[in-house]
Amino acid sequence: MTFSGQTVVVTGAAKGLGRAVAEAFYREGAGVALLDVDSAGRQVAEGFGSRGLFIQCDVSSGPAVEAAFADIQRWFGNVAILVNNAGIQAYGKVNDTTEAEWDRVLAVNLKSAFLCARQAIPSMLARGQGVVINVASAQSFMSQANVAAYTTSKTALLGLTRSIAVDYAPKVRCLAVCPSTIDTPMLHWAIEQSPEPTAVLRECEQMHPLGRIGQPEEVAELILFLCSDKASFMTGQPIRIDGGLGITIAGSKREK
Catalytically annotated residues? 150
CB of 48 closer than 8 Å to CB of 70? no
What is the rounded CA–CA span in Å between residue 81 and residue 167? 17
Burial 46-77, CB ≥16 within 10 A → b, else e: eebeebbbbbebbbbbeebbeebbeebbeebe
CA 14 to chain centre: 12
| 130-135, strands of its sheet edge to edge | 52-56, 31-36, 7-11, 81-84, 130-135, 172-179, 238-241
Give the residue among 195, 178, 91 at the shortest CA–CA distance from 141. Answer: 178
Residues 6 or more apart whose Cβ sits within 8 Å of residue 138: 178, 179, 180, 181, 240, 242, 245, 246
Angle between helices 197-206 and 185-192 (to 10 degrees): 120
